[in-house]
Amino acid sequence: MFNFFSELIADYGLEIDGVSSFNIINMSNKLVYIEGQKGVVKISSESMSIRIKGGLVEVLGQNLKLKKISGSTVCIVGKIESIESK
């Protein structure tokens, strides 16, 4: 099956374990898609913290909403101001 991240890793010859690490997509600061989530740490309309392997992704913004969370993926919508990976 086609996987966007696997294709990127293959094209650029990166040595990343695409299955066990995490990936983040920001679409026009309106939608953040995180692959490889390990759980939700904080939910609020100003910030969302998502646990990932070996760290935390913090999404800051306004009117944030956890649109969908399932298995290893999470989708956050709203007015996104910053994404920090710690």
Which spans of this chain sit near another protein (rule: CB under 8 A)? 37, 39-45, 51, 65-71, 74
Spatial distance between the Cα atoms of 13 and 15, rounded to a whole number of angstroms: 7
Shortest Cβ 22–another protein spacing (Å): 15
Identify which of residues 28 and 70 has a Cβ nearer to another protein in the complex.
70
**8 Å CB contact between 45 and 63:** yes
Spatial distance between the Cα atoms of 46 and 2, rounded to a whole number of angstroms: 34
Identify which of residues 53 and 68 has a Cβ nearer to another protein in the complex.
68
At residue 54, φ and ψ (nearest 5 deg) are 75, 20
Identify which of residues 7 and 67 has a Cβ nearer to another protein in the complex.
67
Shortest Cβ 9–another protein spacing (Å): 25
Q: What is the DSSP letter of 36?
A: S
